[in-house]
Structure 1
Amino acid sequence: MKWGGGGYVTGLIYHPTSYNVMYARTDVGGVYRWDGGGSWTPITDGIGFGPGEGTYHGVESLALDPTNDNKVYMVSGLTTHNWDGSALINGRIYVSQDRGASWTHYDLPFPVGGNESGRAVGERLKLDPTNPSTMFYASRTAGLWKSTNSGQTWTQTSLASKVLTGSEIMGLGTAPIGVEQIVLDNSGSGGGATTWNMYAFIAPEYVQKAGLTSTMYKSQNGGATWTPVTVPSSVSGYYVPHVVRASDGYYYVVFNKNTGEGAGGPGYLYKFGGINFGESWTQLSTTTQGGYSGVSVYGSGATARVALTVTTWNAGQPVVQLSDSAGAPGTWREIADGMTHWGSSGYRGWVDDVEIDPTNKDHILHVHGGGVWETWNASAAAPSWDEPVNNLEETATLAIVTPPAGASYKLVNSAGDIGNWVQTDLAAKPTRSPNSAWGNGDAADVLWSDPTYIVAVGITSNAPVTAYGSWSGNSGATWSNFASLPAGASTNFNDSVSIVTTSRNNIVWAPANSIPSYTTNNGASWTQVSGLPTPNGGLPNAYRLVVDRQSPNKVYAFDGGGAWWNNTTGKVYLSTDSGHSFTLVQGSVAANFAKNEFGLTTMVGNPNASGDLWVADGNTVYHSTNGGANWTNLSGFATVAANGSTGALQGATRIALGKAATGSSYSAAVYVVGTRSGVWGVWRSDDGGATWSRFNDDAHQYGGIGVIAGDWSTYGRIYFSGAGRGIIYTN
């Protein structure tokens, strides 16, 4: 489904000899291969990226074999440690021999933080250009590592033996940056010889922890031993987000006072002579208007073109600086700020990598927090820019709701960072939103008897964080904010949220970790419902609310238990007065639902039959046809142990209903995300759960599926979210 970008592209990398081959890495959405013409192909949706492996869609570094343009390496893992630092989380290296069509992986002996601060640092994984089976990895927590067998096994180099503990990482107050990158002093390709000379750049906090004496070291024996290199005093203790070695052997080194995406300055750009040029330093540029981050070089010598990015949010300040005189002071000009940008107005912030096309110096691309921008006329006095993000979909959807057949729109998408959007055309970016400010869309609902009425809730992330709720009476063309918020909404900002509407003006909202509230006047005032206890804790939790579409005065509330370690099983409550008061449905107690967190449980209702409910409790599927008084546990779904570090293949986490097949015995098609006979996937039943068939295959797993909804106009169409992959749909 069309959005276009939407997430943080943390790096672009051209193949060093086959310049038509380029990849983009992202912080939560995997890797994309460039197809040209502004279009991309996602290459981490299939084999090797199954359920529970969305963590490996957080990509920290890429490397391309200079002797084989089909071979690509990817190092991934979202975070270096768990929430309290009590355990470190090692990453993986993936290898593809066919440009990402298939993958194998090896476990790494060190943590990886593809979604942590500083994730746009220049490539940490570096292959020896003349002997690419030898590679180095600049790790965040454990120094510099070396592999001589294409990443299968690794040993720590002598640069530093310090391995940060979980408590040391937590004590930093931010993500560890560690060894930032390594640059090998060789522009050759192939031949099998070892590259002996190289430089390593180290973050100042790891310098201190490891007892090093400089933020820069060199080795002249292939990484066996290291000696410090003195950096200019003006950048002593600075971070080095990017380094580029030009073909003439000179290095362009970016220094910045602070680290992280969009980090502030001061920033400096220096030209470094390297081993062959006396290791001299020449200052080329400095800024206090934001920080420096990305750098790219085209050509060599005195006429080299240098592009330099400035990570600032402020209008009227530099974004991309360009010099055609090897970066000499006084030769820089701005080529992005104030220029024509076709498409989205956002191009500032997190501009942390830039690449000049090796075949065309007028074609320049830069990343940002919402994708990629490019210009094809960088030499013009006023270059124009567009967004080459076709098929690059990196948004994180939190909820999907589809309207009844005949509605003028396809669905409402509630997504992290980008908010709530009404999608009218699957091939076009949506334009209807209650709040286009940066922030999360948490949940939405549509009125079944009149789908022009929509309600949506979320938060805006610009400080201070605030919750909002909105309603539209014209299919999302215009919106009005609720005049007030219910209890809990203004203080509990977690994305575990549910909201439903029973009729115009009448809404029930269940904020995170809170008792729901209802309004009869479109949010002018709210009253807490009666009969519901605070939802079980342990993890962020909320009641899942479901309206009986045949009898909208009936509203069901489901608490899945909150966490697997809680002593209370999942329960269903029923309201017969439009969600004002609830009573426990005793049949749900007898059903003995499993205890699971909000993200592993679902309850939905069949809009074609009153009292027809479905529950996925994380382990299996239950069906009731009498409002929850009795439940049938459907056989075949079961949680099983998974291979590797994925933990478990959950038996059933998501249920969606959609238009029934012609002539089917049940009034809706049923789709379940879960595991049958040890096989995880999306399973479909056309006969009310009597028989099932797998709906996806191993090439379409998306790192697991988060949320799912069925279409009520087209049989067989479902909408679902992959791991940081926006909304995907299939017929």
Structure 2
Amino acid sequence: MQKMRLIALAGIVAGLAAGCGGGDADHGSGSTVLAGTIGAASPTIKTARFASVKFGGGGYVPGLIFHPTSPDVLYARTDVGGAYRWDAATKSWIAITDGFGPDEGGYHGSETMALDPNDDQRVYMSGGMYDSADGHARLYISTDRGDHWTHVELPFSAGSNNQGRAVGERLMVDPNDPTILFYGTRTAGLWKSTDRGQTWSQVTSLSPAKMTQAQVDATYWSSPVGVEQVIFDTNTKGTGSATQTIYTAVAPDYAGVAGLNYALYKTTDGGASWTGIATPADVAGFVIPHMVRAKDGVMYVAFTKGIGPGANGPARLYKFDGTNWTLLKRYDDTQWSSFGMGGLSVYGTGANTRIALGVTNSWGNWQGQSVVQLSDDGGATWREIAAMMPHVPADGGFSGWVDDVEIDPNNKDRILHVTGGGVVETRNASDPTPTWTFPNDGIEEVASKALMTPPAGANYTLLRSGLDVGTFVQTELTKHPTRAPGGFSSTFGVDTAWSNPAYIATIGAATWGQPDNLGAYSMDSGVTWAAFATNHPDAKAHQSETASIAVTKAGNAVWAPAESVPAWTADNGNTWTYTNLPALPSAGISRGYHVVADRKNPNKVYAYDSGGSWWMQWGGATHFFTSTDGGHTFTESTTFATSGASLNSFQETSVAVNPNAEGDVWVVDGFTILHSTDSGAHWTKLNVTQSIPDPNNYFQPKIFGATSIALGKAPVGAKYSASIYIAGVISGQWGLYRSDDGGVNWTRYNDDLHQYAGIGLLAADQTVPGRVYFAGAARGVLFTY
């Protein structure tokens, strides 16, 4: 990929200087503004109100962080979907990263968070999803519990979505001198700040080593664990003098590069020098996912062989009193299991220390299972408090990713643990049979891949498909959806028959144990589902999210898997027949067709090939095709290539139809908006949107000009039969925009506090004027009201 981009540089830099750099809305194959373009004045701003379409959880929460003294000050960090603060009054979570802009999507996952023990308003959060030898993360800093953030660039990378992302917390604030922070990085050792995170220097006294990219790539899934955690060995806070005794843990991958011979190190001079601590021989080569300090100074240290999520074993739990190690718990691999250890939390001191231990890679909910083990006597005896215990709702279970467990420091009976789908909690942990609930209200961490609204009169409101969760039929916006086909690991496309919205079809990727389950349909609005009798012939080999499906009428659909010739069925998937569309070979990234059915004429289907990626402008092309026989055969538009359409990736492009007018088609190519009123025969380019250039990147803009489009119910008296919504840039301002006059004038609907690290997919309501649904960056689905 990098070689391809470097070759492309000479061929596109001049065009970028004239186009992106100059603010011209016209990019790609067209170099001048067409005579038929439409201009727009500066948009008006009418901020809408936003709410989440409820799913509830939906994604991995690697870490929960309690303030050590202030009751109910609790945060949840996610791997890709931002961060949340607990609101005790409403018993729900408040998203605190919705103000992240469209160019901050890469920072929307947090590898670690830290709280100032002396100031419960001050929060630190890393941003950066994938580690590398030369990458740069960000440190976000808030002085009002995450309501507002500033940030500084960090001189190392972070990996919130890498393997081992629950290890830590890596970032800690010195409780005695809170101007001092330490950060245990994955690739560059231990770092220190003495000015509340504004500047950083490597703690070379531990090791000056930094991993090369080859060394990063040589680790499991290119996910080095590195320096795992920092623990300040003190019971005091706010003394003004830096804590002198500090522990840090080092994973085998970084230890091997840095020439470090121990898994645990200690300093007694604030980090000026470090001494290795010999750990028990039976944990050699293990990772330390968590270690915690009790108030009596005893350290509790979990060791496990895998790095997680859901780390496998063997595993050990030891306590360390500064001299001696005592084994408290062990899991060894057996014929049937390889349980690891993840979450670890303690409360109290001495012989009465309460220990909560998360057991990872333990799947299901069965008698004798270990999920959360609890000891009330410092590890002498243990009991299971989660498996087979009462759950509300009753169908709740465990994901095997119990990678963080936290005892509320102000209430020992409140224990929370994380999973791959959110947070689980008990508030009566001392009972013989604790009751567990799923306090995920407010957490919406689904990475959406398709949104679709049905015509007026349907008995549901929204269709949604997403990674890891599949397709759901939303009947009520404020309640978790229950209608779903199941049997998918992820879904990428969903559509409904406009003449009969009870018929729904969806496509996706197979899940474990069901390798052939790639497509399904419902004839009763999603209440019951059936798998397609057969799959598109190429779907199993191309299970990429760069895919779509168009339903023309009940039982009839066109399926376009990635890098494949789309095929059609007229019998609910009993047979599939290839269309005459050309195959789309890979262009360094996956390619696929956007296929969309005309809503007024079910015989018309449109197929849009966005070209692959926009750095291929020198030799690629973008294409638009129309079918008049239900998607069996297609004819290419001879004017689309000269309309000014640019090449771009599938994910940065979109096509939509006006449900109130046959042949009324809209396309956004990442840069601009194109419109046809004759089924794609002729096109008008709207001179409305402009990409925001990135002066440091010749390969793509900082923010694309127009990436998604949807049409919905127009208000009474509107000049056009549908309201048009886009996510893009108008007059230099990125946002969610609406036009009620066919794209001449635009109104911005969001403000800077509601950016969601970028707005992706759009779907407009066909019943309620002004209502649009959209996906934030792994932030679930939101809507205007």
TM superposition score normalised by structure 1: 0.96
Q: 1:72 to 1:630 in 2, by over 3 A?
A: same
How far did residue 467 of structure 1 move? 4.7
Match for 1:290: what amino acid?
F
SS of equivalent to 2:757: coil
Of residues 273, 278, 298 in structure 2, which corresponds to 1:230?
A: 278
How far did residue 345 of structure 1 move? 2.5
1:543: which partner in 2?
A: 593
Q: Is the CA contact (8 Å cut-off) linking 1:487 and 1:514 kept in structure 2?
A: no
Matches within 5 A, 1:550-589: 550-566=600-616, 567-589=619-641
What is the distance in 2 between the residues matched to 1:714 and 1:666?
A: 16
How far did residue 520 of structure 1 move? 1.0
Matches within 5 A, 1:427-466: 427-435=478-486, 437=487, 439-462=489-512, 466=516
Matches within 5 A, 1:271-310: 271-274=319-322, 279-288=323-332, 289-310=338-359
2:376: which partner in 1?
A: 324
Q: 1:551 to 1:647 in 2, by over 3 A?
A: closer
Q: Is the CA contact (8 Å cut-off) linking 1:400 and 1:414 kept in structure 2?
A: yes
2:106: which partner in 1?
A: 55
Match for 1:594: what amino acid?
S
How far did residue 463 of structure 1 move? 5.9
Q: 1:4 to 1:644 in 2, by over 3 A?
A: farther
SS of equivalent to 1:168: helix
How far did residue 534 of structure 1 move? 2.9
How far did residue 624 of structure 1 move? 1.2
Match for 1:524: what amino acid?
N
Matched, 1:698 2:730: no
How far did residue 536 of structure 1 move? 6.3
2:651: which partner in 1?
A: 599
How far did residue 461 of structure 1 move? 3.2
Matched, 1:396 2:443: no
Match for 1:178: what amino acid?
G
Matches within 5 A, 1:419-498: 419-435=470-486, 437=487, 439-462=489-512, 466-498=516-548
Q: 1:258 to 1:51 in 2, by over 3 A?
A: same
Match for 1:106: what amino acid?
V
Q: CA RMSD in A?
A: 1.5
Matched, 1:264 2:312: yes
What is the distance in 1 between the residues matched to 2:139 and 2:701?
A: 19
How far did residue 466 of structure 1 move? 4.6
What is the distance in 1 between the residues matched to 2:478 and 2:72?
A: 27
Of residues 2, 8, 12 in structure 1, which corresponds to 2:64?
A: 12
What is the distance in 2 between the residues matched to 1:124 and 1:465?
A: 38
Q: 1:465 to 1:100 in 2, by over 3 A?
A: farther
TM superposition score normalised by structure 2: 0.90
Q: Is the CA contact (8 Å cut-off) linking 2:566 and 2:581 kept in structure 1?
A: no
How far did residue 38 of structure 1 move? 3.6
What is the distance in 2 between the residues matched to 1:536 and 1:351?
A: 38
Match for 2:442: what amino acid?
N
Match for 2:184: what amino acid?
A
What is the distance in 1 between the residues matched to 2:610 and 2:627?
A: 18
Q: Is the CA contact (8 Å cut-off) linking 2:251 and 2:287 kept in structure 1?
A: yes
Matched, 1:253 2:301: yes
| Runs of 5+ consecutive residues of structure 1 not aligned to the other structure | 82-86
Matched, 1:199 2:247: yes
Matched, 1:688 2:742: yes
What is the distance in 1 between the residues matched to 2:721 and 2:144?
A: 44
SS of equivalent to 1:206: helix
Match for 1:117: what amino acid?
Q
How far did residue 592 of structure 1 move? 3.1
Q: 1:293 to 1:421 in 2, by over 3 A?
A: same
What do residues 271-323 of structure 1 show as CA deviations (whole Å, max 9, x unaligned)?
A: 1113xxxx221111111351111111111111111111101115442000011
How far did residue 19 of structure 1 move? 2.4
How far did residue 636 of structure 1 move? 2.4
2:21: which partner in 1?
A: none
Point out the more displaced range, 632-641 or 475-484: 632-641
Matched, 1:648 2:697: no
1:525: which partner in 2?
A: 575
What do residues 550-576 of structure 1 show as CA deviations (whole Å, max 9, x unaligned)?
A: 111011100011111222232100111
How far did residue 173 of structure 1 move? 3.4
What is the distance in 2 between the residues matched to 1:359 and 1:65?
A: 17
Point out the more displaced range, 391-400 or 638-647: 638-647
Q: 1:670 to 1:303 in 2, by over 3 A?
A: same
Point out the more displaced range, 587-596 or 385-394: 587-596
1:340: which partner in 2?
A: 390
Match for 2:93: what amino acid?
W
Aligned length in residues: 717
SS of equivalent to 2:111: strand
Q: Is the CA contact (8 Å cut-off) linking 1:544 and 1:602 kept in structure 2?
A: yes
What do residues 510-531 of structure 1 show as CA deviations (whole Å, max 9, x unaligned)?
A: 0011110001110001010014
What do residues 118-165 of structure 1 show as CA deviations (whole Å, max 9, x unaligned)?
A: 000121001111111101000000000000011111110021111111
What do residues 406-450 of structure 1 show as CA deviations (whole Å, max 9, x unaligned)?
A: 110011110100001100011111111112x46101101011111
How far did residue 494 of structure 1 move? 0.6
Q: Is the CA contact (8 Å cut-off) linking 1:532 and 1:582 kept in structure 2?
A: no
1:173: which partner in 2?
A: 220
What is the distance in 1 between the residues matched to 2:585 and 2:658?
A: 24
Match for 1:703: what amino acid?
A
Match for 2:434: what amino acid?
P
Of residues 196, 214, 219 in structure 1, which corresponds to 2:267?
A: 219
Q: Is the CA contact (8 Å cut-off) linking 2:511 and 2:517 kept in structure 1?
A: no
Point out the more displaced range, 57-66 or 536-545: 536-545
Q: Is the CA contact (8 Å cut-off) linking 2:305 and 2:315 kept in structure 1?
A: yes
Of residues 78, 95, 98 in structure 1, which corresponds to 2:141?
A: 95
What do residues 468-500 of structure 1 show as CA deviations (whole Å, max 9, x unaligned)?
A: 111111101111110111122010011011101
Q: 1:675 to 1:622 in 2, by over 3 A?
A: same
SS of equivalent to 1:550: coil
Match for 1:232: what amino acid?
P
SS of equivalent to 2:642: helix
Q: Is the CA contact (8 Å cut-off) linking 1:45 and 1:699 kept in structure 2?
A: yes
Matches within 5 A, 1:156-167: 156-157=202-203, 158-167=205-214
Matched, 1:610 2:662: yes
How far did residue 653 of structure 1 move? 0.4
Matched, 1:209 2:257: yes
Q: Is the CA contact (8 Å cut-off) linking 2:644 and 2:685 kept in structure 1?
A: no
What is the distance in 2 between the residues matched to 1:303 and 1:524?
A: 65
Runs of 4 or more consecutive aligned structure 1 residues displaced over 6 Å after TM superposition = 643-646
SS of equivalent to 2:656: strand
Q: What percent identity do the matched residue pairs reach? A: 50
Q: 1:54 to 1:131 in 2, by over 3 A?
A: same
| Runs of 5+ consecutive residues of structure 2 not aligned to the other structure | 1-52, 333-337
What is the distance in 1 between the residues matched to 2:542 and 2:772?
A: 31
Q: Is the CA contact (8 Å cut-off) linking 1:364 and 1:375 kept in structure 2?
A: yes
Match for 2:215: what amino acid?
E
SS of equivalent to 2:344: strand
SS of equivalent to 1:363: strand
What is the distance in 2 between the residues matched to 1:596 and 1:199?
A: 49
SS of equivalent to 1:728: strand
Q: Is the CA contact (8 Å cut-off) linking 2:710 and 2:762 kept in structure 1?
A: yes
Of residues 351, 359, 384 in structure 1, which corresponds to 2:402?
A: 351
1:45: which partner in 2?
A: 98
1:627: which partner in 2?
A: 679
Match for 1:190: what amino acid?
G
